[in-house]
Each structure stands twice: as structure tokens, then as C-alpha cells.
Structure 1
Amino acid sequence: MPLSQIEILHQDPAFLVINKPTLLLSVPGRADDNKDCLITRLQENGYPEALIVHRLDWETSGIILLARDPDSHRELSRQFHDRETEKAYTALCWGQPEQDSGRIELPLRYDPPTKPRHVVDHEQGRHALTFWRVLERCGNHCRVELTPITGRSHQLRVHMLSIGHPLLGDRLYAHDEALAAHERLCLHASMLAFSHPVTGERLRFECPAPF
């Protein structure tokens, strides 16, 4: 499994900051044909100590953080759990929101009948909060910055769908026009800030979207 297509943005004795390409799993899937993934490629190509801290969806590209020792893994995982990290995503969404920014606070849950989709459910869903901001308006779509406060699966995709602006190229949630508007899911983890697991120094990494 080659390390090609994986850009290492930063190396530290305690962690790695990677630009994950689209169409690559963060961790192995259950099926035999889903074993190729980011963590396996790193472990088999010079970083056997790499440990996953958080995940990005298969189709989502951008910044992902990996630890290089158990103590760093424990501390970085705690920061994610306690919401001490800061994250921002760049996305292209269908249509033009009336406002230039807003918040979406809708509870989400996994929907087994339509797996792997998630849905808004006010009775059984888990709390989810997203802030959004228009960066650029471009005809039938716009570029937005999405800031998730919680970290639910498919949160950004379902939240933007819920306000009538699905992400371009989203094979799970976009309508036909939005799906055909781009060849890939237009969702990219463009910024991550966290505290160094050893020194405590506040760090911020940015990676521009490829779309």
C-alpha cells in the first residue's frame, strides 16, 4: 500500500498532521476490500507508531491529526473529546443562502434503513451544532466555511441539507443537480487548532481546499 497521494503537512516527535486525499478511508473498513486506508499506509511506510486520533469521512479531504506515542494519543484524544480543539471546513453548497452566516442546531442519528445515511431526529437524535459563513457566491452555488462545535457523523452534510443547501458532489445527500455539479464531495477540513500534547503550546494548521 503506497504512501503516494498523502501529503505530510507537519511532523513532530509527538504527532503528524496529514492532508488526507478524498476517497481514502481514515481507518480500515470491515469488508476485505476496504483495508486500504490512511493509518495503514502510514504504518507500513515509515510510521509504524502512528495512532489515529479522529476521523474524516471517506470522501472528505483535508487535515487529520495522528499521534506518534500512547501518551500523546491520550492527550490529543482528550482534547477532541473535551472540545478543546478548533476545526473549520471549506465546502461548496448548492444555492444561495439568504443570510451571510448562521447556526444550525439540529439533533442527528444514524438511520439504519438508509445506511450509511444520518437524519435529523428531534426525539432520538444526539445534539449537534454547526456554524456556517458564506465566503464567496458563485452563480448556482457558494463557497462556505463550516465550523462544527460537535463532531457527529455526517454532521456538516446533513445540517447543510437541512437548510436546503446540500454540498456539491455528495452522493448520499445531494439532489441530482447538486450531485452533478462536481465530480467529488466538496468538503475539505481546512483548519485545525489544538494544544501540543507535550509542551501545551497552541498550534494552528491550515490547508486550502483543492476545489
Structure 2
Amino acid sequence: MINAVIDIVVESQDSGIRIDKYIAENQEELTRSYIQKLIQDGMVLVNDKAVKANYKVAPEDSILINLPPPVDLQINPEDIPLDIIYEDKDIIVVNKEKGVVVHPAAGHYSGTLVNGLLYHCKDELSGINGVFRPGIVHRIDMNTTGVLVVCKNDKAHQSIAEQLKVHSITRKYNALVYGAFKAEQGTVDAPIGRHPIDRKKMAINQKGKRAVTNYMVLENLSNKYAHIECSLQTGRTHQIRVHMASIGHPLLGDDIYGPSKDSFHLEGQALHARVLGFIHPTTKEYVEFEAPLPDYFKLLLEKLRK
């Protein structure tokens, strides 16, 4: 039984890339390990023939990805309060709290946003992203707060995923960073990939994927800090955190890319996903949602002003 089908035609500039890597780069909602399993199970066809994971794609190759239906969930629904901004039959938009993990993973099999969504939505969540990430089409870090869209069906999932792929979604973040700015706005255009030594970290890496962050200074604070708005043209892992640290303005509370000592004793980076806008999967109209600054952020902002 097939749950969904994804059809891709390879363009000339992508010739010679391993097929598992190529699919991972073009279908960001699918993990590379999941893609490799699909290939191994014969669920990925190139020109109607099964291939191995090391197959190198060629121009005009027709790639058909057959996604099996999700197996019975082993993740338990939990009655966790959700801050719901908007909900309809296709999507649910939530304001994620600080410290909440988006989906189950090693060390976090309960208390995640997905656990709460399973309780609230019952079986109305897309299955494209597998057992542990039903409905999840994009993520924000555990200690990042703010707006997140979750898909209730595969049609909505594929629509939002395609918009993420072509970078047409509006994403604006508020951040508190070290150091005052001289210019009122700027752009960081630097590729991001895995850190060459610490594989748990991301870094500016010329072999990584292109990443572009536009920033605007909302307020310089005491000549030591700044409140900024970051708009994402791309969406790479830890993008804002890596980019701002790379130009000498790491986020307050960032225990990975910031100073080792945090005099403010924060629980993770001061980063809030404030605005999310996209074309609705069914109405085809542009919709935009906003999550107000969380209390900890507003209190810290007032403290820095003084």
C-alpha cells in the first residue's frame, strides 16, 4: 500500500550527485536515513527502475519516490496544553513554548509538541515524515519559541514542503544579541554545513548549503547588546545562531555558538519565531500568523534597556 508519491525530474546542474543526497537536498522534510531505507526497500525508482543509494543522478532522470503509509505509532498522545494560533482541516498553527522539543527523538520520547498534537488532533496528522514526526514539516530548536505550522494531511504537507524548498515562506525572528550595530541593517550570505570537528554543531562551511539571513536592528541596548529582527531567505539548521555568531553578534543564552559564560542565566538562546507567512494549501491565498514576544524575552529586553 502506497501512502503518497513524490515525482522529481533532475535538472542539468544537479548531474552527478548521489541519489540519496539529491533527494535529501530537494525534499527537506525527508531525512537522509529515511531516504536510504526507502531506496533499500525498492520504493525509489529512477526511470521506472530501482537503484542503489550510491546511484549518481543524470539530467532528465525521472525519480519516483513511493512513500509507504505510516506504521502504527509508538508515540503516546499526551494531554499537553497547546497555544493554538489558528486551526482548520488542513493545518494547525501553534506558538511553541521555550524548552519544548518539537518531535520525539533519542532522550525525548514524551512531553514533545508531537505528543500534544497527537492528543489534540487524534489521527489527523500527515504521515509523510514518518512515525516520530507526524505533521511536522519544519522545526524550530528546543529553546527557540514561536510560531510553527503543522500539517493535518499529506496534501497540505506537500504544499508547505514545496514552499519551504523554494524559500517562498515568510519567516521573521526576534533575537537579542551581543554587541551594538553601526549599520541599521545587513545581510549574511554564507553557506552552512556540519562543523568539521564537532559533528553536533553547524558552521560556516563552503561545502555546505547556501544560507541567507537578512537582519534589521530594532534597538541598540547599552552599547553592549542589540534587539534585532532576522528574516530568513533560506532555512538551515541553526541558521540565525550560526550567522549572527559569525559576524561577532552571538545570541544571548546560546550555549553552543555564544560565550561560555552567561551572566543572564538563560535557558538557551534568546530567539523567537515571531512571524510565519505562506500560501494556504487549499485556499491558495497568502496567510500570515504572528506569535507575541514571550514573557522572558520582554523581561530581558527591559533589563537590558536599564
TM-score (norm 1): 0.92
The one-letter amino acid paired with 1:98 is: K
Contact 1:49 1:68 in 2 (8 A): yes
Match of 1:15 among 56, 77, 91: 91
1:34 corresponds in structure 2 to 108
Cα deviation 1:110-155 (Å, max 9, x = unaligned): 1263242111122x12211100000112112111000111111011
Return the offset for 1:182: 5.0
Gaps of 5+ in 1: none
- Corresponding residue for 1:3? 80
Partner of 1:187: 271
**Distance change >3 Å, CA 182–CA 93, structure 1 → 2:** farther
Instruction: Decide whether the 8 Å contact of 2:181 with 2:220 is kept in 1.
Output: no
- Corresponding residue for residue 290 of structure 2: 206
Does residue 130 in structure 1 map to residue 130 in structure 2?
no
SS of the residue corresponding to residue 252 of structure 2 reads: coil
How many Å separate the matches in 1 of 2:87 and 2:148? 12
Q: Could you tell me which residue of structure 2 aligns to residue 64 of structure 1?
A: 148
Q: Deviations over 1:64-122 (max 9, x none)?
A: 00011121111111111121211100000011022111000111111263242111122
Percent identity reads: 33
Structure 1 residues 100 and 114: alpha-carbon distance in aligned structure 2, compared to 1, 3 A threshold = same
Partner of 1:78: 162
Q: Distance in 2 between matches of 1:141 and 1:110?
A: 28
The answer to whether the 8 Å contact 1:168/1:182 transfers is: no
Pairing 1:155–2:239 present: yes
Q: Is contact 1:42-1:48 (8 Å) kept?
A: no
Aligned to 2:124: 49
Please tell me whether Structure 1 or Structure 2 has the larger radius of gyration of its CA atoms: 2
2:255 and 2:164 map into 1 onto residues whose CA distance is 28
Range moving further from structure 2, 45-54 or 153-162: 45-54
Return the alpha-carbon distance in structure 2 between the equivalents of residues 104 and 95 of structure 1.
16
Matched, 1:99 2:174: no
Structure 2 CA distance for partners of 1:150 and 1:173, relative to 1, 3 Å: same
* 8 Å Cα contact 2:215-2:228 kept in structure 1: yes
Q: Does 1:111 align with 2:195?
A: yes
Q: How many residues align?
A: 206
Look up the SS of the partner of 2:272 in the other structure: strand
* CA shift in 2, pair 1:84/1:61, >3 Å: same
Task: Considering Cα pairs closer than 8 Å and 6+ residues apart, tell me whether 1 or 2 has the greater RCO.
Answer: 1
SS of the equivalent of 2:159 reads: helix
Instruction: Looking at secondary structure, tell me which structure has more strand per residue.
Output: 1
Task: Tell me the secondary structure at the aligned position of residue 292 of structure 2.
Answer: coil
CA RMSD of aligned residues (A): 1.5
Contact 2:171-2:232 at 8 Å conserved across structures: yes
- Cα distance, 1:48 vs structure 2: 3.0
The Cα of 1:45 is off from its aligned counterpart by: 3.4
Structure 1 counterpart of 2:114, one-letter code: I
Unaligned runs of 5+ residues in structure 2 are: 1-77, 126-134, 298-306
Question: Residue 19 of structure 2 aligns with which residue?
Answer: none
After TM superposition, the runs of 4+ consecutive aligned structure 1 residues lying more than 4 A away are none
Secondary structure at the counterpart of residue 45 of structure 1:
helix
Distance in 2, Cα, partners of 1:111 & 1:148: 21
Do structure 1's residue 24 and structure 2's residue 107 form an aligned pair?
no
Query: Any idea what the Cα deviations from partners look like across 1:177-197, whole Å, max 9, x if unmatched?
Result: 5x3335131011000111110
CA apart distance, 1:21 = 0.9
